[in-house]
Amino acid sequence: MSGLEDLPPLRDTLAAHDLLAKKSFGQHFLLDLNITRKIARLAEVGPGDRVIEVGPGPGGLTRALLETGAVVTAVEMDPRFEPLLNELAAAADGRLSLVIADALTVDETILAQGGPAAIVSNLPYNVGTPLLIKWLTGAFTPTSMTLMFQKEVAERIVAPPGSDAYGRLAVIAQACAEVRLVMDAPARAFTPPPKVDSAVVRLKPRADRPAPALLTALQTVTQAAFGQRRKMLRSSLKVLGGEALCVVAGLAPDVRAETIGVEGFLALASALIARRGD
Ligand code: SAM
């Protein structure tokens, strides 16, 4: 039986299956195993660890994850890749299972068979942010996430208060997880190359992740505050309580959203819950 080391180069595998990238599925492939192995290292997964990989496509990242000894459940929406990925599964000693489905609607708890799992993905650009929000705020909490995004989205996830990229995504991501930009990937690393550069973000969910009600309130206050980011909080949050809400949260009503840290937004979210409970 052939093992992972006997597999042909990814380009040959794609050609043998006559597969071309489809734009509608956000397909930009990593065919250089040096790059996919680096991502697998950054994911810090090892023998026996369960990994959910979204969008395996031709399987370059999947191969690198399998090489670490991890047990991989791969969720791919494009059924054209099924035969190719089945060949990879045959070379992986039963450590790769494939699910043909939309990652936005799958239940990760079932994929992880009720146990812990890390999520690793070179994400399709069109659904990267909604998938991240699902994994940060949904019922299933991954042990870690190692995710390739468009560089601009990666920067918005890790942005500190006061920076141009700071906004809703930074607040929600940083309230739920420790976040780090761990690798840059120029557009030329992909086949076909996208129009923009990419970057890998590693997210480690916090043990004290906000409870669902607080997260919902956090989404409400950040939407209002950053919807009018140049206005003072007293006016951008007017419909939610304006100045009174700021006072309860211990924030000055004349500051702007972009200067408030995650703790400040969590205080505003708690104040909103208290106000609605009155
Ligand atoms: N992991 C491969 C690599 O690094 O070469 C492919 C990455 S490509 C950027 C994104 C992959 O996600 C494609 O294979 C695409 O078909 C798949 N995909 C797109 N939307 C998806 C969705 N909603 N659910 C699952 N897979 C999806």
Asked whether the bond before 192 is cis by omega within 30 degrees of 0, the reply is yes
Is pLDDT at 2 greater than 80 in this prediction? no
Kindly give the distance from the C-alpha atom of residue 109 to the centroid of ligand 1, in angstroms, as a whole number: 20
Which neighbouring-strand residues pair with 119? 52, 145
Closest CA to 142 of 87, 205, 194: 205
Q: How many CA atoms lie within 13 A of 32 on its CB side?
A: 12
55 lines ligand 1 (CB under 6 A): yes
What is the pLDDT at residue 277? 78
For residues 143 and 161, what is the distance between their CA atoms, to the nearest angstrom? 26
Distance (angstroms) between ligand 1 centre and the Cα of 12 equals 19
**Residue 61, H or E segment:** helix 60-67
Q: What is the rounded average pLDDT for all residues in the chain? A: 95
Q: Which atom of ligand 1 is nearest to the CA of 126?
A: 20
CATH for the stretch 212-277: 1.10.8.100
**Closest C-alpha residue for ligand 1 atom 21:** 77
- The amino acid at residue 150 is Q
Model pLDDT for residues 146-180, shown as the tens digit of each residue: 999 999 999 999 999 999 999 999 999 999 999 99
In short, whether 128's Cβ falls inside 6 Å of ligand 1 is no
78 C-beta closer than 6 A to ligand 1: yes
Q: How far is the CA of 175 from the centre of ligand 1 (A)?
A: 27
The mean pLDDT of 18-29, rounded to a whole number, is 90
| 200 vs 204: CA distance, rounded Å | 13
pLDDT in tens, 196-249: 999 999 999 999 999 999 999 999 999 999 999 899 999 999 999 999 999 999
The position carrying tokens 């205080």 is 267
CATH number of 2-205: 3.40.50.150
Q: Output the residue whose Cα is nearest ligand 1's atom 10.
A: 124
Task: Write phi, then psi, for 2 (nearest 5 degrees).
Answer: -80, 150
Q: Indicate if the pLDDT at residue 50 is higher than 50.
A: yes
Residue 1 pLDDT level (bands cut at 50, 70, 90): very low
Q: What is the pLDDT of residues 57-97, one digit of tens each?
A: 999 999 999 999 999 999 999 999 999 999 999 999 999 99
Give distance in angstroms: CA of 202 to centre of ligand 1.
18
* 123 Cα: distance to centroid of ligand 1 (angstroms): 6
Q: Which atom of ligand 1 is nearest to the CA of 104?
A: 23
The answer to whether the beta carbons of residues 231 and 237 sit under 8 Å apart is no
Q: Is 65 in the pocket of ligand 1 (CB under 6 A)?
A: no
Whether 141 is in the pocket of ligand 1, judged by its Cβ within 6 Å, is no
Tokens standing for 165? Answer: 């990229």
| Residue 278: pLDDT over 70 | no
User: Can you give the residue ranges of every domain in the chain?
Assistant: 2-205, 212-277
Compute the distance between CA of residue 163 and CA of residue 154 in angstroms, rounded to an integer: 14
User: Tens digits of per-residue pLDDT, 100-129?
Assistant: 999 999 999 999 999 999 999 999 988 999
